[in-house]
Amino acid sequence: MDFITIGNVKIEKSCALSPMASVADRAYRELCREYGASYLCSEMVSAKGLCYGGAGSLELCEVHNEERPYAVQLFGEEPEYMAKAVEIVNRFKPDVIDINMGCPVAKVVNTGGGSALMKTPELAAELVKAAVSRADCPVTVKFRAGWDQTNINAVPFGIMMEQAGAAALAVHPRTKTQMYSGHSDWSVIKAVKDAVGIPVIGNGDISNGEDAAKMYSETGCDLVSLARASNGRPWVFEQIKRYLETGEVLPEPSLEERLSVMLNHAERIVGYKGEAQGVREARKNVAWYLKGVRGAAKYRNMSDTLNTLDDIRRLAEEVYRNAPL
């Protein structure tokens, strides 16, 4: 397996886990790492929240050695807060600090952060300069193709981010207005890669090894990453790595294996967050793991009522008992 470097950080050139707010927590990241994810990133952390000493924001910055190479991702729209936030993040010694300029969610965009920064590239560049001036590690930027189909500006935006000091770029080639719908335009990733001299991470519509190999081939990107395709399928990273190394297509795990991973995942969440909060947060993961099984709609509804680990174990037993022979 080949490697890329971001600054002085060495990363296996297989497949990374993209950041996902309220999904890619420590338990999720650990599983994905164990299945071969080559690079991990924290959930989004508010730069301003850090500066105000928010306990939740500080907790999201924690770095665990088993997750390295690892990035902490910040979002915000004010350079002075970004600089102060980076100083705080330095204490946790991440391998990389990433700035989110791609989130399309209203509560982030409406403040001028996330993908709204694609409409204000000069401000985006100031945010990068502020972060780079204080960071003890490489600073990267994740962004989208543009605001909408009439404003595709990923190439000039990426060039500005490189000039501002970014060590790598991650490109999700959908527009803000697309959110997560429709198809991503991989030609945008290629255009950015052709225009800059720093590593480019490609993201969008990868769900298996063939997709990953195709993105590498068509775009020339330095690393691929995925997010939603790993929901309920952390083993996808092992499948991608094996395909890239050997061309072998690994099968999906058996139902018994899938349920075992589901329980393992839920137990880890509870271990970190306690049973009450952990099981509430595990509900969505349970629904993802059960997608496609016989009676999935019924089980998805049942997952919304889970309150204890034993509830999850009983559900797993029912799913297995009712599976076709």
Tell me the per-residue pLDDT of 162-181, one tens digit each, with 9 for 90 and over: 999 999 999 999 999 999 88
Instruction: Indicate whether 147 pLDDT > 70.
Output: yes
- The verdict on pTM exceeding 0.85 is yes
Give the three-class secondary structure for 35.
coil
Residue type, 29: R
What's the chain's Rg over C-alpha atoms? Answer: 20
What average pLDDT score do residues 201-223 get?
A: 97
Predicted local distance difference test score (pLDDT) of residue 67 = 95
pLDDT digits (tens, 9 = 90+) for 53-76: 888 899 999 999 999 999 999 999
Residue 169 tokens read as 């770029």
Q: How far is CA 83 from CA 72, 87, 134, 145, 153, in A?
A: 14, 7, 6, 26, 26
pLDDT for 181 equals 87
Report the pLDDT averaged over residues 137-155: 96
Please report, for residues 76, 194, 222, 318, the alpha-carbon distance to residue 5 in angstroms, rounded to integers and kept in the order given.
26, 18, 9, 47
With a pLDDT cut of 70, the percent of the chain lying above it is 100
pLDDT for the residue numbered 234: 98
Q: For 215-229, what is each residue's pLDDT tens digit?
A: 999 999 999 999 999
Domains of the chain, each with CATH number or no CATH: 3-246 (3.20.20.70), 255-321 (1.10.1200.80)
Q: What is the set of active-site residues?
A: 103
What mean pLDDT is predicted for residues 38-44? 97
User: Would you say the C-alpha torsion 185, 38, 54, 74 has a positive or negative sign?
Assistant: negative
> Residue 325: what pLDDT?
54
**Distance separating alpha carbons of residues 145 and 102, to the nearest angstrom:** 9
Residue 324: per-residue pLDDT: 77
- Give, in degrees to the nearest 5, the angle at Cα 137 between 133 and 140: 80
Q: Confidence class of residue 22 from pLDDT cuts 50, 70 and 90?
A: confident
Q: How many CB atoms lie within 10 A of CB 323?
A: 14
Give the confidence band of 318 by pLDDT, cuts at 50, 70, 90: very high
The burial class, CB within 10 Å (0-12 / 13-18 / 19+), for 50 is buried
Nearest to 133 by CA among 57, 200, 82: 82
Return the half-sphere exposure (C-beta side, CA atoms, 13 A cut-off) of residue 18: 27
Q: What percent of the chain has pLDDT over 90?
A: 94
Three-class SS of 72-113: EEEECCCHHHHHHHHHHHHCCCCCEEEEEECCCCHHHHCCCC
The CA-CA-CA angle for residues 112, 114, 118, to 5°, reads 80
The dihedral of CA 300, 302, 303, 305: what is its sign?
Answer: positive
What digits encode the pLDDT tens for the residues 234-254? 999 999 999 999 999 999 999
Per-chain mean pLDDT for the chain: 96
- Sign for the CA dihedral angle at 153, 155, 157, 160 comes to negative
Using an 8 Å Cβ cutoff, are 17 and 237 in contact? Answer: yes
